[in-house]
Each structure stands twice: as C-alpha cells, then as structure tokens.
Amino acid sequence: MTAPTVQAFFHADSGTWTYLVSDPGSGAAAVIDPVLDFDAKSGRTGTTSIQAVLDAIGAQGLGLRWILETHAHADHLSSGAWLRAQVPAAILGIGEVIREVQATFRPIFNLGDDFPVDGSQFDHLFRDGEVFALGAIDCAVIATPGHTNDSVSYRIGDALFVGDSLFMPDGGTARCDFPGGDAARLFRSIQRLYALPDATRVFVCHDYGPGGRAVACESSIGAEKQGNIHVREGTGEQDYVAVRTARDKTLAMPALLLPAVQVNIRAGAMPAPEDNGIRYLKLPLDRF
C-alpha cells in the first residue's frame, strides 16, 4: 500500500496535531484538522499556526486538494474556512453526521432557521466507507462515532488519521461525555480500527505528554492493540465503558468548548458581523 508523506504541526495552546499529508509522486496534499489561533481572554483570532502549514505547502510545491476535519472539535477553533479561502480549489470535508451536531447546537445557541443544519457550510460530507484519492494514493473514510457522533477516521494509504478516537497508547482514548458522545459506540468504533493491519500508522489529533514525556503523534494499530491503557485487544466493552465513564466524571469542561463549537459547526467561519461591524460569539448561561 502506498505510503503518503506525513508532516505534523503541533498547536501547543490546545495540544492539537495538524497534519499535512501528501502523495510523493504527484504532490497532491491534504491538511487534516487545521487550527485557528484563539485567545479567549482578548477574543483575538490568529492564523500564525495555519500559515506555517500553508508555507510548507508552498515551499514543497504541493497542491492542496483536501481540507479534512475528523469531527466538530470542542477544544480548538478550526481554520478550515480560512484555509479554503487561501486555496479555493481545495475541498473542505467532514463526516456527514455533522448535520446532527449542527441540529443539536442550533437551538442551544439560538441560531435560528437561517442557520442551515444540512452541512452545507462544508464542500463535502463523507459517508461511512466512502473512498477518495489523494493523487495516486487510495483513501477511505471509516465512521468512528463515540467521542462525538460525527467522528470519522481517514485512511490515506497506510496512514490512519483517527481524530480523537484513539490517543497515543499511554493516553488511552478521548472523553465521550459531550452531547452526542457515547462510550459504547466508541468501543465499537475502535474495534473497526483494530481490524486494520497492525502495521497501519496511526496519527492522533491530540497529545498532552502524559507523565511528562515529550509530545508524540504517531502510533500504530499493533501498538494500540498491545498497549492502549483504556482499550487493548481483548478488553471487553463493559470494562471499557466503566473506565471511560468513571474518568469522564472527573473532567472539567474544555476551556474553549463554547467558542469552538460555534465556529466549528460553521466549518471554521465566524458568525456574521452585527450592525456595528463586530462579530460575536455567545456564552449560554447555566446550560452546560
């Protein structure tokens, strides 16, 4: 199976890995989970982080074809809309269940009927099992709901981009207590990933350097099956759900949940400016 070139960019503020994936033969490229810089204290956004990815694309003469989101993130704002504006030919895609995420959050943020919940803010909605190409490299979409209901994993050649469905083995898995999350569904999604060849390279969306180790981004299906602290090969569904549910009860809400969801259900676009020309994000009180 063809091996794409994978370059990882770490966004330290949110612990997020953004990936630049390319076909060495054709130079066709994809960016997975691009991040928008955001300072919640000042409300200031920035593109320094994603500009570094764009610069790498330019320096290497790559052609950006795809901008791929693994899910509607709750811990960082997406720069997908900004990146597509810089490269209009690129296709901005996410799993089709983003529609359900939009339908969940539209009433919470009182976005009204003119906020579409059909996923039309994105260029393409992927269904489970859909295949696509990155140059000469075959790619497939694996629906992996559980952390969120819209989560998907992208297999690009021998490389698998799992979003938050798996962390590095010593980090386990992501929380399942957001609206639409479900630990039992995540367990079943992970079994689908574990059915892939052990040599499949796994690239995670987050790492927080547990135990003080340096941050890391690459694992493998074999390493996860052997050593994932939450779900090894042979771990039972009920045991996993018990561990996951107990841990979720100890976790505080992510600092950027409310700003992130409002932007990310818009594909990384900001709300329209009000009549004074300023854009606002909302803070629903006593809802979460």
Site residues (CB under 5 A) for Fe ion?
Answer: 73, 164
- Our CB check for Fe ion shows the closer of 137 and 141 to be 141
Q: Give the number of other CB atoms < 10 A from CB of residue 251.
A: 9
Minimum distance of Fe ion from residue 11's CB (angstroms) = 13
Nearer to Fe ion, 108 or 257 (CB): 257
- Name which of 147 and 155 has its Cβ closer to Fe ion: 147
Residue in the block written with tokens 């960019």: 9
Rounded to a whole number of angstroms, the minimum distance from the CB of residue 55 to Fe ion is: 26
> Which residues touch 163 (CB under 8 Å, ≥6 apart)?
33, 70, 71, 144, 147, 151, 152, 153, 205
CB of 147 to Fe ion, least distance (A): 6
Q: Which residue is nearest to Fe ion (CB)?
A: 164
Cβ 133 to Fe ion, closest distance in Å?
Answer: 27
Beta bridge pairs of residue 139: 132, 156
- C-alpha Rg value of the chain to the nearest Å: 18
Q: Please say which residue, 37 or 164, places its beta carbon nearer to Fe ion.
A: 164
With CA atoms as reference, report the closest residue to 22 among 38, 37, 8, 4: 4
Q: How far is the CB of 274 from Fe ion (least distance, A)?
A: 29
Give me the amino acid identity at 261.
V
Cβ closer to Fe ion: 157 or 163? 163
User: How would you list the strands of the sheet with 131-134, edge to edge?
Assistant: 131-134, 137-143, 152-156, 159-161, 201-203, 218-220
